[in-house]
Structure 1
Amino acid sequence: MKMFKYTFGLVVGALVFLSSCRDFVEPNIPYTEFDTAAYLRTIERTSTSFNFFNLANSNFALTLEAVDAEDGATVETVEIRVRHRRLIPGVGLEYSPALSTDDVLIRTLQASDFAPNSDSRFLRTSFTIPASEAIQAVGLTPADIEGGDAFEFRLVLNDKFGRSFTNTNADANVTGSPFYASPFFYNVSVVCPSDLGGTYEFTATNMDSIYGSCDGTISGTSTWSPVSGRPGVYRVTDGTFGFWDCYGDSWGNGDVRINDACGKLTMTGADKYGASYSMTVLSSSAEELVFTWLNSDGETGEVTIKAQSGKPLPILN
């Protein structure tokens, strides 16, 4: 009798378990009636920055893949919209056009712009928008642009069913996941490439200090070494450019740097005695750079840097 009750309990338990499992999966899910969306997978970011020193030849360029239930065939149009952004220290972000208005429609891709490719079954397209076109679209001129500015490009996919998909209504998994690679939104920064590293021939004149002057001209070489992890920052081999030779002194372990911030040069750091350094650019051309340096001990000199062979100097601000 005890064994019968035990067996009967197991059977009842199994029936309850199976019944609960069945209830969990019913009613049958109508998979074929699920609504499907569409997104734009970023295949290649061909160009996603504008060169401040060469805006005329800078572009925003992407290759996109339309992903939907019909392998990209539901796409009707893709709007490319733009807004300019600038961070003003102590004030905040400034936008053109203002955030209270819509961003500007700069280009519309048609369904016919999407075509088959040999790498996937989905339709793809590529586009290029010159920086000059983006600048004009937001009501600015190249003279208004500053290093550190950014252009916010936003894509809006409109399909043949009358639906629109963009960064504001897409799921975070779509916009943020590397698999989908579909942000619908791209920050294109105005960058200032700097390439001042190398060894330069120089001449130094007008060297003076409270300790005495150094008559005539000093010639030599100065190596500007890029500082790791600090783009546009260069450590110089001698912040006095040979001036201390007049004293019979040597540069030693001083750490003076030249900083290139969008074509504006500054000098920072200190020598082995703790004196700080600054500089003033007097003239700039592709062939030579002329500046004065000054330290907090009152020592100063005028330096002319010659361009390296085959590498013109940038025209500085």
Structure 2
Amino acid sequence: MKKIKTILLIIATITFTVSCEDDGGTSVIPLEEGAAPNLVKATSAPAFIDQVKAQNGEPITLEFNVSIAQGNPASTDIIGVYTTFAGPVYNAVLFSNVTLPQDFSLTTADVVAAFSEIDSGADLQVGDMLTITTRFTMPDGTILDIVSPDGVKGGTGTNIQTTVLFTTVLNYPVSCTSNLGGTHSFVSSNLQAITGTCPSGDVSGTVTWTDQGGGIYLTSDLGFGQYGTTCWSDSPATSGGATFSDACNLIISGGQDQYGLTYTWVITDVNGPEMSLSWSNDYGDSGDVVLTREGGVDWPDLFTQ
């Protein structure tokens, strides 16, 4: 399979970790206890912040539930991290010293009031992202952050692990209504791999984009058939994090495959039902693809930056 060295490294790391937890004698090295939340968006509430409504002053109310998935924190704050598309990142405490589990609601007016850097709904721009998570204070005074102040998931709580069993952050992109879901056909060409012999001709297939809400889509193949060719003879490049966003026709890539590789898409042309783009990942794979929209429907005027 692809990335065999990475797999071997993971196995070696697991072996090392197990050996460190127990020295083989009577003493066992204690592991520091952590905590993690579980956050769930209300299905009846918006999954994104509608830029048009926000800028027109129309009411938007985000609703979500927060519970403790594991651990026993002494106190909990609900934290907001607002990442602007331009680059700056803002931080605020949305709710202090809360009791969990609990349902919460947050209006755009609340968002403006919470972040001193945001003056009004007109400041909410396409491509911005509001991330909601928790800050736990443990009984010994240790503070566990899920997201660090610069907006990077991981924070200071080194014991908090990413898991498929619960959701530690909620993302609310500033976006517009989007409808890109479906099973689209593709023709890939110019496939490249840092190690491997790729086919010289075209490769055709289909890719499914599943609407996750809020302009976020899960794709069944970030590399449009490249992994399945002689480049790697592997399964499609996808995972639970293989997502991209449509922010009012601005396509924001950056999804990750099953190996944790990040993909960048660059749209080069949109012509009716056909869209051309080039892609690459941070392992050296790349390719060009022409996507034909399901049903032959014209694509919107999509673009990347």
Q: Tell me which interval the TM-score lies in, with the shorter structure as reference length.
A: 0.3 to 0.5
Larger Rg: 1
TM-score by length of 1: 0.41
TM-score by length of 2: 0.42
By percentage of residues, which structure has more helix?
1
By percentage of residues, which structure has more strand?
1
